[in-house]
Structure 1
Amino acid sequence: MSTADKILELAALKPATVAGALLNHPDIFRDLNESIATTLVLSLVDRGQADTLRQLLASKAIGEAKAHLLAELLLLEAFAE
């Protein structure tokens, strides 16, 4: 099982743990490919972790490309409510 697969599995089982790990280690999110990052964000948002993801975005430690992706996904989530 790849690291990305493990992260996605954990996101489903323990979303707060994964969101917290991303907040404490933003390089994990920054290094994911866009497809996996998108899937991970959507999974965490569905499990109530949008606020933690907003904190990750505010930290400005995930790089410009991932910040744009995360901001776009969080905006879509906000407008969907």
Structure 2
Amino acid sequence: MAVAKCRLCGREVCRKHLGGRGYCVVCEDLMCRVCGERLSVTSCVYCGKLVCRECSIEVEPGIRACLDCYVRYGGKRFKTRT
């Protein structure tokens, strides 16, 4: 029986599946690893970290890098992960 509601997505969950910030476990798992405030949209092409739109830069159409890696690698060609 659902007894709590996620503050981010509105999903009804049991208290066991609600994190300390009031987000459900799904939203917690998909949270941006840079800011921790917004849901991620993809992972960094260099390091694989989950990132939101605001914490990443599009290096090629559909391919994003976290701000740290973009500064570190200067947008240089990346090795495609398989």
Q: What range is the shorter-chain TM-score in?
A: under 0.3
TM-score, length-normalised on structure 1?
Answer: 0.24
Higher relative contact order (CA 8 A, sep 6+): 1
Instruction: Answer 1 or 2: which has greater strand percent.
Output: 2
Which of structures 1 and 2 has the bigger CA Rg?
A: 2
Instruction: Answer 1 or 2: which has greater helix percent.
Output: 1
